[in-house]
Amino acid sequence: MKYAIGVDIGGTKIRSALINDSGKVIKKYKTYITSDRSRDAILSKIIHSIKLHMNSDVIGIGIGVPAFVNMKHDKIYTTNISVLQGFNLKKLIKSKFKIPVFIDNDANCFTLAESKFGVAKNYKTILGLTLGTGVGGGIIINGDLFHGKDGFAGELGHICIDKNGYLCNCGNRGCLEMYVSGTAIETRALRHITIRDIPTKLTENNHDVKRIHAYAKKGDKLAKLILDDTAKYLGIGLTSLNNVFNPDLIVLGGSVSKIYPYLRNRVNKTILSFSISPKRKPNIKVSKLKYSGAIGAAYLVFKNEY
C-alpha cells in the first residue's frame, strides 16, 4: 500500500490528510488562516500540516491551491491568498521534505478526487463545480484533468452570464460566481433585507445560506425568491457548460451543493428551456466525499507514480 499527503489550501483554512492509494483518509487535520495572514505565518501552517502526517511510507505530497497554477513554472496566481501571489510553493515544499511534490488548482483536485473515488467514478468526461465562498471548476476529459495551454483551464465559475452584471473578483462582470457562490447568495439576500422591499424573517445578522434554505422551506417570501434566482442562474451556467462539453457527468461540491435537492427542479426547468444540445439535460450529481480537496491533491502524487 502506498501513501501520500494531500493538502487542500482554502481562502480561510488548510485541510491536510494522509491518504492511501485507494483514496482512504488515514489521518486528517484542519487549521485556520484567518488571524495572521502574513506569508510566513501561512507557509509555516502549511508546513506544519504536512509534518503531522509525514512518515517513511509517504511517497509524495500533493497540494491544492485556490489559485491559477502555471504548469510550466509552478508559480501560483491568486487573489484569495494575496501573499502567495507569484510564489513557487512547490519548490519550497520540495526543498523542506525532499520528496516529490505536485500542485494544482483546488477545484481541479476536487474533480480528480470525485473521478477516482467519488460519485464521478467510472465516468470519462466530467465537469466539477465547487459552489462555496467562490465557484471553482475542473474539467476531466477521457479520465484526465484538462489544463489548457498554460494550466489555467477549468475556471468554470468565471463564465459570463450577464455582461452588465455584478463586478467579480477576477475583474470581469457578471461571472457565474457572482450569482451562485455562497457569498453571492448571501449578498443578494442582504441587499433586499436592507431595503426591506420583500417580506422576510431573515435579518442583517442572520442570512447565511443554511438559514435562507431553512426559511425558504417554511415559505419565507424573500428566501424563496433568492433560491429561485440562484437555481435559475445555476441552470443558465450549467446549460452553457453542457452545450460546450456534453459531459458524462457534472459533479457539484462545496457548501451550496448541500441545498441542491431544493434547487434541482428549478435548475432542470431552466436547463430545458435554454439548452440547444440534443441531449438537453446533463447528468448532475452532488459530491458525497469528505476531504475531497485533500484526497484529489494526494491523488496528484499517485497518478504521477503509475
Residue 175 or 256 with smaller CB distance to Zn ion: 175
d(CA 143, CA 22): 17
Piece of the chain touching Zn ion by CB under 5 A; list 93-101, 110-118, 163-171, 239-247: 163-171
Least separation, in Å, of the C-beta of 172 and Zn ion? 5
| Cβ atoms 113, 301 nearer than 8 A | no
Q: Give the position of cell 475542473.
A: 138
Nearer to Zn ion, 33 or 175 (CB): 175
Q: Is 31 buried (19+), middle (13-18) or exposed (0-12) by CB count in 10 A?
A: middle
Q: What is the Rg, in whole angstroms, of the alpha carbon atoms belonging to the chain? A: 19
Residue 101 is a binding residue for Zn ion (CB under 5 A): no
CB of 157 to Zn ion, least distance (A): 7
C-alpha cell at 258: 448541500
Assess 237 for contact with Zn ion (CB under 5 A).
Answer: no
Does 158 help bind Zn ion (rule: CB under 5 A)? yes
Give me the least distance between CB of 174 and Zn ion, in Å please: 8
* Residue selected from 107, 175, 284, 295 as contacting Zn ion according to rule CB under 5 A: 175
Question: Residue 11 or 100: which CB sits closer to Zn ion?
Answer: 11
CB of 136 vs Zn ion, minimal distance in Å: 11
Q: Which residues bind Zn ion (CB under 5 A)?
A: 158, 168, 170, 172, 175
